[in-house]
A and B are shown apart, each in its own frame.
Chain A
Amino acid sequence: MRPLTDEETVAVFEKLSKYIGENIRLLIDRPDGIYCFRLNNERVYYCSEELMKRAANISRDNLVNLGTCFGKFTKTRKFRLHITALDFLAPYAKGFGVTAKSTTDCRRVDPMTIVCFHQADIGEYVRNEETLT
C-alpha cells in the first residue's frame, strides 16, 4: 500500500473529472476528516486516514480491500473505474449521460464515426465479482 505518484494521481483525477468534474475537490478536502487515495495491488482505494493507518498493519499480499475501491490501473498504466466507485460518483455526478441516436441517424453519420456503447451497470456487482476487488 502506498500513496499515488503524481502521474497516477493525474490519471485518476482526469478520469474522475470526466464524471464529477471539479467535485473531486470535495473528495480530497472533506470536512469530516482526512481522506486519502492509496494504491495496493494496482487498485486505487479511497478511505479515511484512520482506517488506512490501521490497515497498514496488514501486509499487502493479505490486504484484499480497504475502504472503497475506485478502480484499477491497467498494465499500460491507464486508469479504469470500477462500479464500486459509484457511491462516490453518483452524488457529485454532473450529467455525463449519453443519448443514443436512432438507427436512421446512425446510418447517415459520416464514415469516421465510431458507433459503440459501453455503459456501466450495477449488475457488475454480481457479474464481475471476481475482478472487482
Chain B
Amino acid sequence: MDSLVQSVLKSSAEKESKYKTTEVVKDIEVDIDEGHLLAVDPNPLDIKLLRSERDSYLKALARNDTQLLINKIWELPVERVEDVIVAKLPEPRTVVPREKPLPKEKPMTKWTQYAREKGINKRKKGRMVWDETAKEWKPRWGYKRAGDDTKDWLIEVPDTADPYEDQFAKRIKAKKERVAKNELQRLRNIARNMKGKVPGVGLTPTDTPDKDDVSRALHLARKSTASLGKFTQELPKEKPAKHVGKKRKFEPMIGNFNEEKKRALDILNKITNKQPTLNITQATNQEIYTEEDQKRIGKGGRNHLEGKAEANKTGTGRASQKEKAGVEKAMVKRDEHPSS
C-alpha cells in the first residue's frame, strides 16, 4: 500500500517537475488586456542574463508572461459549448491607432447649406405610408409608391385647361422634369464642391435668351468649325466677343527681373503675414445654429437628436467634436506649420 502511494506520489512529482508552475511572480504587475489577448510586461530586462544567454532568457520571459495572460483568461467566466470550454473575452481596453485617416466630411449640398442657415432640421420620415385609396401600406417613393398620380385611371380635366391637352401625358412629363431637375441639382452640387475647374456644359436652351446668352452662342458657333474658327469671317465693325474665356498666359521667360522679384516677395509676404480671415455671414449663421441647437437640447426633444444625426451623417459619438472643429474652421483659417 505504501509503495503504491509512494509510486503515485512519485509519478505525480515527476509530472510536476515536467510542467512548470502556473504561479508567476513579477515585481511590477503585467498589464494585461484580455480583449486583445495582449500582455505588456513593464519589468526591466535583466541585462546580464540577456547578454549571457539571450535565447533561453527571452524564451523563459515570454513563457511566464504568456502564463500570466492565460491565468487571467481562466479567471474570466467560462462556459462549455459542445465539449469545448469557451471564455468570453471582455471589450478591449487598448485603443489601436487607425491605419487609415478619418473619412472626410461629406461636402454640403446647396440645400443642406440653406437648411443649416435657416435652422431647418430634417425629420425622419417612415419608409412606408398608408395609402387611403388602396387601403394598404405602400412605399413613400419608388416602385408602386403611394399616391402615384401617374397611375390614375381617370383624371378630371380642369375648367381652365385646354380640352385637347393630354392630362395623363402632362403628369408623366411633370414627373420626368422633377427627376431631371433633381439629377441636375445633384450634379451641380458635385461640381460646386470640386475644387478645380468644372468643364462648362456649353449652352443650355433657355426660354428667353438674353444678350449674353446670344453672344455666347454666337462665339461658340464661330468656333465650331474644323479649323476652330480660324477662317470664320467677321462682320464689318464687329465688336470683339465677350465671354470667350481666358487664354493661358505666362510671363516672359526673360522679362523684367526686378518686377519678378517684387512679385515673388509680395507672394511671400502674403503667405507669411496671412491673417485669419473672418467670414462674417458664415460665422453668424453658425452662431445662430449652435444657439438653436443648445435650446433644443435643453428641451430634450427627440426630433432634434434625429435631425442632428441626419445633418451630420456621421456617428453620434463624434458629433460634438465635429461641431467644434467646424466652428474653429469657420472662425480661424490658420496655416498649418510643422514647427508651430
Contacts and interface: CB of A to CB of B under 8 A. Distances in A.
A111 B98 contact: yes
Contact of A36 (B101, B257, B265, B338): B257
A24 B254 CA distance: 22
Nearest to B248: A5
Interface stretch (A9-17, A79-87, A119-127): A9-17
Nearest to B321: A112
Nearest to A25: B268
B339 A94 contact: yes
A110 B95 CA distance: 7
B271 A13 contact: yes
B268 A112 contact: no
Contacts of B299: none
Contacts of B268: 13, 17, 24-25, 28
Contact of A53 (B94, B254, B260): B254
B337 interface: yes
Interface string A26-69: 00110000101110000000000100110010000000000000
Given A110-B95, A114-B101, A3 B265 contact: no
A36 B97 contact: no
A3 B261 contact: no
A5 B254 CA distance: 14
Interface string B257-272: 1001101110110111
A10 B253 CA distance: 18
B261 A34 contact: yes
A17 B337 CA distance: 9
A96 interface: yes
Nearest to A112: B102
Contacts, number: 81
Contacts of B260: 3, 36
A67 to B, nearest CB: 14
B200 interface: no
A96 B94 contact: no
Contacts of B265: 25, 28-29
Given A18-B338, A28-B265, A111-B97, A2 B272 contact: no
B253 A6 contact: no
B255 interface: yes
Nearest to B339: A96
B95 A28 contact: no
A2 B253 contact: yes
A85 to B, nearest CB: 16
A96 B97 CA distance: 24
Contacts of A49: 257
B257 A107 contact: no
Interface residues of chain B: helix, strand, loop or mixed (majority): loop
Contacts of A104: 40
Contacts of A36: 257, 260-261
A115 B97 contact: yes
Contacts of A25: 265, 268
A6 B267 contact: yes
B250 interface: yes
A37 B101 contact: no
B267 A10 contact: yes
Contacts of B253: 1-3, 38, 52, 56
B251 interface: yes
A24 B337 CA distance: 15
Nearest to B95: A111
Interface string B61-99: 000000000000000000000000000000000110110
Interface of A: 1-3, 5-6, 9-10, 13-14, 17-18, 21-22, 24-25, 28-29, 34, 36-38, 49, 52-53, 56, 94-96, 98, 104, 106-115
21 contacts: A2-B250, A3-B252, A5-B250, A6-B267, A10-B267, A14-B335, A17-B272, A18-B337, A25-B265, A25-B268, A28-B265, A28-B268, A29-B261, A29-B265, A36-B257, A94-B339, A107-B94, A112-B102, A113-B97, A113-B98, A115-B97
Interface of B: 40, 94-95, 97-98, 101-102, 250-255, 257, 260-261, 263-265, 267-268, 270-272, 335, 337-339
